Amino acid sequence: MPFVSGLKCRECAREYAAEALNVCDFCFGPLEVVYDYATISEVISRQRIAQGPLSIWRYHDLLPANSDDPVDIMAGFTPLIKARGLGKKLGLRNLYIKNDSVNPSFSFKDRVVSVAATKAVEFGFETLACASTGNLACSVAAHAARAGIDAVVFIPSDLERGKIIGAAIYGPTMVSVHGTYDEVNRLCSEIADNYHWAFVNINMRPYYAEGSKTLGYEVAEQLGWRIPDHVVIPSASGAMFTKIWKGFNEMACLGLLDGVEAASFGADQNTAHHPAVTTRMHMTQAAGCSPIVTAWEAGQSQIRPVRPDSIAKSLAIGNPADGIYSLRVINNSGGSAYAVPEEDIVDGIKLLAETEGIFTETAGGVVVSGLKNLADSGAIKPDELTVVYITGNGLKTQEAVESVVDPVLIKPTMTSFEEALEARRGR
């Protein structure tokens, strides 16, 4: 861990050693990783990055875990695709899709869990744990299997079968909790306090969250070391949203972007904003769970927690830990926030599938419908370089789109086939 100086409270700035901690003992504020950027700037270069593996670990100088032997199932370095079909439909000529649905466990969670699992092994933990409604459980179980340590995943008892199997196959201890969302939340928080386990998004959270920065690095590298005019991102806790912004600013401050002079990070590494980073950060949430959007629309600096009621379960966090920080990113970047009506989520999934051949989960439906809103409203101009983040795979939420299944039924004869084909075409 050569480039990490320690942890620092985001609220009161108290400093701590880089240990398995996530909140400040004094004010209970969240802790963030502090880097030794002076040393990083001496070693990092585009060449050094390009020589790294085709995974998030190519950016190891900017990750808070020891990269000598990472817990790596090859998360990251996912495709950035020029979206000609979707772009044509929306009137956007310079649109790209960052397709993170093709990660090893089929969601962006592999990025954050790879960092958390590596850190957990470094700290000597023998159990990796999480509470999840799907993607996180799959990723934690997969990484624990790779690391050869135990996994304990807590899931709500009404979780869809596909997600249960997607996590169970890796052999974790799976605890199905029968209770309300709030009860499951409180129980898992209490368990995390009482068991010496590495809960990826609790005591490992400062390290875990940093994995999302790679979504910013990769887009910049894949665009030829430049950053987009706009990014459109689905949000739950808000952590990924703030970390993509941080990733862009780190690259700029370290002089890795084309035509951008290196600059100081200033007193607070987490709010560093290089003037060359002009990307507008657009957040999308599902209307059934949109506490950050609601606060942004009302011009408030606080988040009012909500009880999630959305088909986009991977975005259903009613009390988002990074809500207030993501509001600041939206405002500092000149971005926006939009709550996608629940009935538009499936339309977004279908639109992406039919124009680009990518099958995304409900979170992807949210972000595509959000992108459509931005294009229709003129907030994104036709030639502006825009990246939309697709963070999970459609195979995980098949229930949401079951209505698309409508096969042509025929008898085993040519006549029957041709009659059916004509009838279908005549619709």
Partner 1 sequence: MGKQRVKFTFTGILVKDPIIYGLGRDFKIVTNIRRADVQEDVGWVILELDGEEAEIARGLEWVSSTGVRVDPISGDVIEG
Q: Could you tell me the two tokens for 210? A: 């940093």
Q: Which residues pair with 393 in a beta bridge?
A: 360
Residue of 258, 194, 170, 231 lying closest to 386 (CA atoms): 231
Task: Kindly state the smallest distance separating residue 362's Cβ from partner 1, in Å.
Answer: 10
Q: Which residues pair with 32 in a beta bridge?
A: 8
Q: Which residues pair with 387 in a beta bridge?
A: 96, 231
Nearer of residues 188 and 293 to partner 1, judged by Cβ: 188
Residue that has been written with the tokens 């108290």 in this structure: 14
Nearer of residues 90 and 311 to partner 1, judged by Cβ: 311
Q: Are strands 230-234 and 280-286 parallel, antiparallel or unpaired?
A: parallel
Instruction: Provide the angle, in degrees to the nearest 10, between the axes of the packed helices 323-333 and 239-253.
Output: 50
Nearer of residues 109 and 274 to partner 1, judged by Cβ: 109
Task: Kindly state the smallest distance separating residue 201's Cβ from partner 1, in Å.
Answer: 6
Nearer of residues 133 and 269 to partner 1, judged by Cβ: 133
Nearer of residues 104 and 392 to partner 1, judged by Cβ: 392
- Residue 363's identity, in one-letter code, is A
What's the rounded Cα separation, in Å, for the pair 371 and 392? 16
Task: Kindly state the smallest distance separating residue 347's Cβ from partner 1, in Å.
Answer: 20
Alpha-carbon distances, residue 119 vs 36, 229, 244 (angstroms): 18, 34, 21
Task: Kindly state the smallest distance separating residue 122's Cβ from partner 1, in Å.
Answer: 22
Q: Which residues pair with 7 in a beta bridge?
A: 16, 33
Nearer of residues 133 and 214 to partner 1, judged by Cβ: 133
Task: Kindly state the smallest distance separating residue 190's Cβ from partner 1, in Å.
Answer: 8
Residue that has been written with the tokens 């299944």 in this structure: 405
Task: Kindly state the smallest distance separating residue 186's Cβ from partner 1, in Å.
Answer: 7
* Contact residues for partner 1, defined by CB under 8 A: 11, 22-23, 26-30, 109, 130-136, 154, 156, 181, 184-186, 188-189, 192, 199, 201-202, 205, 236-237, 300-302, 304-305, 313-323, 363, 392
